[in-house]
Structure 1
Amino acid sequence: MRTLPDYARLVQEAPEEAGALLSDMLISVTQFFRDPEAFETLALEVIAPLFDDVSEEGIRAWVAGCATGEEAYSIAMLFAEEATRRKVRVPIQIFATDLDDDALAVARRGYYPGTIEVDVSDERLQRFFVQEGEGYRIRKEIRDMVLFAAHSVLRDPPFLRLDLISCRNLLIYVERPLQEKLCSLFYYGLRQQRYLFLGSAETADAEQQLFTPMHREARLYQSRAQAPRTLPIIADGASAGRQELRASDAAPGPAGRDASPVVLHEAALEQAAPPSVLVDDAHRILHLSPGAGRFILHSGGVFSGRLSSVVLPELRLDLGHAIERATVRKLPTLTIGVSARVDGMLRRIALNVSPVPSEEGPATHALVLFLDGGPEQDEGDAGDADEAGVGFGRMRSELRSAKEALAVSRAEHELAMQELRAANEELQSINEEYRSTAEELETSKEELQSMNEELHTVNAELKKKLQSISTAHDDLRNLTAATEIGTLFLDRQLGIRMFTPPIADLFNVTDSDIGRPLTDFTNRLRNRAIDADVRRVLDDLTPLEAEIESVDGRWLMMRVRPYRTVEDRIDGAVVTFIDIGSLRNAQSRELESEAKYRLLFDAIDQGFCVIEMMMDDAGKAVDYRFLAVNRAFAEQTGIADAVGRTMREIAPTHEDQWFENYARVAETQVPEQLEGPAAALGRYFEVHAFPFGEPGERQVGVLFQEITERRRAETERQMLTLELSHRVKNTLAVVQALASQTSRNMTSVEQFRTTFIGRLHALARAHDLLLATQWNSADIKKLVETALDVYATAGADAISIKGQQVDLTPKQGLGLSLILHELSTNAAKYGALSTPEGRLSVRWEVMKTDLMHEIVFVWEERGGPVVSPPASRGFGTRLIERASRFEMGGEAELKFEPEGCTMNLCFSVG
């Protein structure tokens, strides 16, 4: 595989081939971006927080090495989904860059083959793609978010003020130093505490001062807030390689015999010349000589690369002025020796700062030389008069140096003031010329603007009139077409002005007949003189309406009205014909339906009435009035002439619960099935109440049936059921006694007898519980308590029963009773209930759904004898499985663990 060093070499030798090489590398990289887990993590931990803190510019992202655009569009889809979820509109701009113009052209088209169905979900396909032919095209709303451009991360400056940079699987193709510089470049383009998204084989851990990891598996990093923000200089790979090669070739060997004079000269300068530092116009250190480190002393706090901030404190002020003078004014500066403490010793240091010329433009660099003037003795060490004299002389020298520096500063200040004064005068002169030119242009502009406003006003008036006329014409044409009403416009002499298309079905007229009298044409109306009707309306100005029939059997509503102008002047008549055949048919069907309804209303055997609720000031139902009743109403209730009367008038002692029930139906608009006595009428009714009419009318329809005799029959049936139950249990007791006496002396039969009797008892208990609910349901908790009641003597806490009340079907109740009997007898013989230390836990959980209740029933034994799985499935195990599947409608799982037996039963209850 070719790498970026190959690319660096080709940049110099064959630029076109170098661009194709890097593009091929980036296209191969994008084949690995389909990482759903990483992109889901990106959506949760990066894109969602970005919407919480959106700047005024919106959200800005950069996808470096986008190739044919799949990765850029995927990130745009994630932004669109988050914006839709939050129901907000945020400006989103994604810069997608690459070197290959052909790949960028494919990305801009946004058209991909049908094979993307494997990688893209159906939901996103429908939302973000439009199928065209055998492929899919990205929708315009996503393509508008992404701006594709040709760009090189190695040569071109980065995008700025970014919230997210995605550079997946590009850093693995460059060497480590270049990776670090690219990370610095990405940090420079990001806002503080924004995000970097790398590929699965890449990392930014080497630049921990710039980025902190957020999610290592997804390769998500966040930029630090306090890191220095400088734009790194990324040298061309080929030139850097050649520089390293020349440096290695030119380095002197160990013997130094074969070294060239140039190399010897450079080595001698390095040893004899003073320490030096190369800085730029921002005071940033670009290069240090080996001995310059003696004069560097960084203070505490955030790291800084500015030489004027990290040099010895005594030198910082003079050095800052000297660098400014060298880089801005291109003047060298030599400072008089300053006392500074170097390596713990007080020394005299002088600074020589010179501008570095550049062929490409003005000087933007400076060379700083540190001149060491030798040690200087502290004043505290002076022991005699000679040493004091030396100190006095040094002070005089320093004062002289300060005066010279002050004089130089004054001269520079005066020179700068003169230059500024001259520049200011030139600017004032130019400003005066510009002002006079601007005034002339302003005068011309005002004249043109005045003329333009006049033309604009006239044009706007004409355009408005034309638009109103066009709108009125369109409205009239669409109105006549939409209503499908035949309309005939006539003048005062009954001449035809205009007509709509349906008129051609009634009168033998065409567009060429405009202006001819209506009397010249025949019509298809039966026994109707239209001209006489129009003249009568024009005479008395009274509109006319009449139902007429056409010769083909259609019924029409004819309306004749005067034609009024804008000035309210009568200038003819307007005749309209509306087809009312469907209306007449509907009225006929309504009459027939009403007759059938009334016949059915009076023919049913059940009583039916419509009532209107009567409320007091507090909103409580106090009475209701009968609005309509059928024939069976009087037979069921014994009340005659109920329409128009209230229930309190008919039966003052009528139960209040009926008023409350009917009021609830009228309020909630939900039908209810009711049943109860009407003591005032001496009868028992089954009632179906439902809302009737509009909700605000508080009307209720009541369909009822007297069930006094049925209630009496149900009471008698219940007594017979109890008697039958008693007889069945007596019969079972007789069968039990006979079975016991017959097989008393037989070992195998004894075992059968015990098992058989226990199961009969279980069925009997379940039968009792079902009988209590009239064989409608069985309470699961009562079934469990009844089955384990006989083992309650084992201890107060030996058996634990937990679960909410659930009603099972009769079939499920019998099946669960058999299962509980098998498990409890096994626990009493061999399991947790066979020892005092044993514990039995029976619990169930109910998970409600829309239609069903899912129940998980758990039988768990602990603390009993050690349990070993049976060698074969016995009859009890098969009985549990069969009862679970066929009676319970679920599945049971038995586990024979050393700690005890466990059964998990899952089933549903409707």
Structure 2
Amino acid sequence: MGDVRPDPEADEELEGLLGFLRDARGFDFTGYKRSSLGRRIRKRMADVQVDTYTDYRDRLEANADEFNALFNTILINVTSFFRDPDAWTFLQHEVLPELLAQSRADDEIRVWSAGCSSGEEAYSLAIMFAEAIGLDETLERVKIYGTDVDDEALRDARSGLYQAKALAPLAPELRNKYFEPNGVRFGFRPDLRRRVIFGRHDVTRDAPISRLDLLVCRNTMMYFNVEAQTQIVDRFHFALREGGFLFLGKAEMLLNDADRFDVMSMRQRVFRRRPGDASAPYQPSPVKSRSGTSGELHTVARHRQMRDLILDANPSAAVAVDAEGTVILVNSQARVQFGLTPNDVGRPFQDLEVSYRPVELRSLIEQAAHERRTLRVNGVERRVGEDLQYFDILVQPLAGSDGLAAATNVTFTDVTVATRLKSEIKRVREDLETAYEELQSTNEELETTNEELQSSIEELETTNEELQSTNEELQSTNEELETTNEELQSGNEELEAMNEEMRVRTEELDEARTFLEAVLTPIAAGVVVLGQNLKVKSWNRGAVDLWGLRPDEVLDQPFYGLDFGLPTEKLRETIQRCVDSGRRGDPLAVPAVNRLGRTITCQVQCSPFDGHNGGVVLLMEEDRTTDSGPGAGA
């Protein structure tokens, strides 16, 4: 078998299509794995009989409804209540007790179901907490966020309505306790439903939900490439509190994050956030413009100038942020130190680099406002080109006249000189200690032993790197297999739906056929239905008794080609007149021979068959009022 080589032209067309989806609809799929993403897009292209990515882009531009069909194909919504029961059992028996133990009785418990699809996972979390701590305490303390990029799936999640088949994984007592009948479906109980908040969220682009005790993201990261997965894990690390738990899918692992996450159960894919500062969680979003009258703009500019003049007298850099996260003050020192301009006043603070570098300030501002106390971070390092700067940062909440938090003032005190002096003293001390240790290490035999040990360590490191590389390759293969499995499951569900629809239609057809036979069988007269091509479509019991031919001998046979006691050619003109006029014809007396060989006069009535354009219904009955001739007594 020859090597399968990638098609550079097709790859370029795929990237162009992804760029078009991002610009036209705001869906950025560039972080998804190209193998699974290309496979899902080609599946949709095959459904609409399009061969190239370029032609499919033309179809998207011409048909806006095709976007929804494509997104539903790409975003595989395979989920269920308590999916992978063993993992949920571990979560309930091992993780939940520790989570509750490290929170006070009046603390809010915050949970995020990222990639929640149609909501089964988020509602499973609500049921788990209600069973663990009781319904009343869950309604008081627990808040669950369910997010996804699929708007259609989120509409289903918000409704909280599910078919009986979807509730099959639940024990009967849980189903009866947490779901109520609603027509042909079942609705999640309303009081607990209000503790679950659904919203659209892209884990690769949008700001993460913060201060979480538990983050559940199962079989979502496996669709993304390594770079996107790294960014997502950074956001999840920022979102979790220290000691918070991360629950992933069975095809997902944290291979290179031992410094930030402890493994609680690798088999069940449960990890715990280690203590330490959170990294920058997301890139700045575009600046939003503000509009207003010329008088309002003049007033704002005047107030801004006055505030800047006051703050410029402060020798330390200072930035003030209001309760909505908007920058309201920037002094001259802040502009010099961090490259800010007067135009940055009025922008969202999260859009500025200083909000997350040299230290993540958004969480500190939120904490200071929430706890109503000043926070201090000392010795924060900031790199400017080849130089290092050090700052002591003071985050001070400012209360309004009503006692509520109105703004937060962030002050940066440059302690670079003092820090460098301390660092130099530390370095000199370390140099002296090193020199002393070197004087004590003059034994050549010990040096030889040290070199041998070093060589062994390098060999172990090389082996470890090879094992890590192999592990990452196995992880990638596992993710691809899990993706393919979910695609197959999605296809099976579609086939089940089609089979169910075919079964219903077959039952309806059988019922209609049975009804028609029940109507035609008791009729003593012969009833023959001819289709548009004048072939026999129905031949009732009366026709069998009259002419002696069974239905299986005549069905789908040309009527004029049948050989029985009725001269069908004599009916051709009458049948054609009925077809052309679309009206019932007058009875026609035709000499014929019945199945017993007796000569009779047959009265034939021809009527149009409305169900088939051009078809007719023939009603045949022996005329017993007419003498049948010499053969009558035979």
Larger RCO, structures 1/2 (Cα 8 Å, 6+ apart): 2
TM-score normalised by structure 1 residue count: 0.26
